[in-house]
Structure 1
Amino acid sequence: MTAPVCIDLLLEPRWIIPIEPAGVILEEHALAVDQGRIVALLPLEEAATRYAPRERLQLSEHVLLPGLVNLHTHAAMTLLRGFADDMPLMHWLNECIWPAERRHLSPAFVRDGTLLGSWEMLRGGITCFNDMYFFPEAAAAAAREAGIRAVLGLTVLEFPTAYAADPGDYLAKGLASRDALRHEPLLSFCLAPHAPYTVSDSTFERIATLANQLDLPVHIHIHETRAEIEDSLRLHGVRPLARLQRAGLLGPGFIGVHGVHLDASEIDLLGEHRCHLAHCPTSNMKLANGAPPIASLQAHGVGVGLGSDGAASNNRLDLFHEMRHAALLAKAASEDATGLPAMTVLRMATLEGASALGLDAEIGSLLPGKSADLCAVRLDEWILQPCFDPASHLVYVAGREQVTHTWVAGRLRIRDGKPVDFDTRHLIELAKMWHTEICKH
Structure 2
Amino acid sequence: MSQPADLVINARWVIPVEPADVTLEHHAVAIRGGTIIDLLPQDLARTRYRADRTVSLPDHVLIPGLVNLHAHSPMALMRGIADDLPLMRWLQEAIWPAEGKYVSSAFVREGTLLAIAEMLRGGITTCNEMYFHPHAAAEAFDLLGMRAVIGLTTLEFPTPYASDADDYLRKGLAARDAWNGHPLIGFALAPHAPYTVADATFARIATLAAELDIPIHMHIHETAQEVADSLAQHGKRPLARLAALDLLGENFIGVHAVHLDDSDIELLQRHRCSVAHCPTSNMKLASGIAPVARLLAAEIRTGLGTDGAASNNRLDLFQEIRHASLLAKVSTFDATAVPAHTALRMATLNGAQALGLGDRIGSIVTGKAADLCAIALDTFETRPCFNPASHLVHVAGREHVSHVWVAGEIRVNKGDTVLQLNDTELLGFAALWQTRLSN
8 Å contact kept, 2:9–2:57: yes
State the secondary structure of the residue aligned to 2:348: helix
In structure 2, the residue matched to 1:365 is: 363
Partner AA of 2:431 in structure 1: K
Quote the Cα distance in structure 2 between the aligned partners of 1:120 and 1:24.
29
Q: Structure 1 residue 301: deviation in Å?
A: 2.1
8 Å contact kept, 2:256–2:282: yes
Over the matched positions of the two proteins, sequence identity in percent amounts to 60
Are residue 304 (structure 1) and residue 302 (structure 2) matched? Answer: yes
Are residue 235 (structure 1) and residue 233 (structure 2) matched? Answer: yes
Partner AA of 2:158 in structure 1: P
Scaled by the length of structure 2, the TM-score of the pair is: 0.99
Partner AA of 2:217 in structure 1: H
State the secondary structure of the residue aligned to 2:189: strand
In structure 1, the residue matched to 2:63 is: 65
In structure 2, the residue matched to 1:204 is: 202
Quote the Cα distance in structure 2 between the aligned partners of 1:420 and 1:234.
52
8 Å contact kept, 1:8–1:34: yes
Partner AA of 2:436 in structure 1: E
State the secondary structure of the residue aligned to 1:312: coil
In structure 2, the residue matched to 1:56 is: 54
8 Å contact kept, 1:129–1:151: yes
In structure 1, the residue matched to 2:438 is: 439
Partner AA of 2:402 in structure 1: T
In structure 1, the residue matched to 2:22 is: 24
Q: Structure 1 residue 183: deviation in Å?
A: 1.4
Q: Which moved more, 1:420-429 or 1:252-261?
A: 420-429
Unaligned ranges ≥5, structure 1: none
In structure 1, the residue matched to 2:103 is: 105
In structure 2, the residue matched to 1:423 is: 422
Partner AA of 1:270 in structure 2: L
In structure 2, the residue matched to 1:8 is: 6
Runs of 4+ in 1 over 4 A off after TM superposition: none
1:154 to 152, 157, 161: 152
Q: Structure 1 residue 295: deviation in Å?
A: 1.2
In structure 2, the residue matched to 1:171 is: 169
In structure 2, the residue matched to 1:332 is: 330
RMSD over aligned CA atoms reads 0.6
Q: Structure 1 residue 268: deviation in Å?
A: 1.0
Quote the Cα distance in structure 1 between the aligned partners of 2:431 and 2:267.
47
Q: Structure 1 residue 193: deviation in Å?
A: 0.1
Quote the Cα distance in structure 2 between the aligned partners of 1:164 and 1:85.
27
Are residue 46 (structure 1) and residue 44 (structure 2) matched? Answer: yes
Q: How many residues align?
A: 438
Deviations 1:115-172 (A, max 9, x none): 0001100000000000010100100111111110000000000001111110111111
8 Å contact kept, 1:12–1:59: yes
Deviations 1:97-119 (A, max 9, x none): 00000010100000000000011
Q: Structure 1 residue 236: deviation in Å?
A: 1.2
Quote the Cα distance in structure 2 between the aligned partners of 1:387 and 1:425.
36
Quote the Cα distance in structure 2 between the aligned partners of 1:242 and 1:44.
52
Deviations 1:14-42 (A, max 9, x none): 00000000011001211001110001000
Quote the Cα distance in structure 2 between the aligned partners of 1:337 and 1:176.
48
Q: Structure 1 residue 238: deviation in Å?
A: 1.2
Partner AA of 1:437 in structure 2: R
Deviations 1:238-286 (A, max 9, x none): 1111111111011100000000000011101110111000000000000
Scaled by the length of structure 1, the TM-score of the pair is: 0.99
Unaligned ranges ≥5, structure 2: none
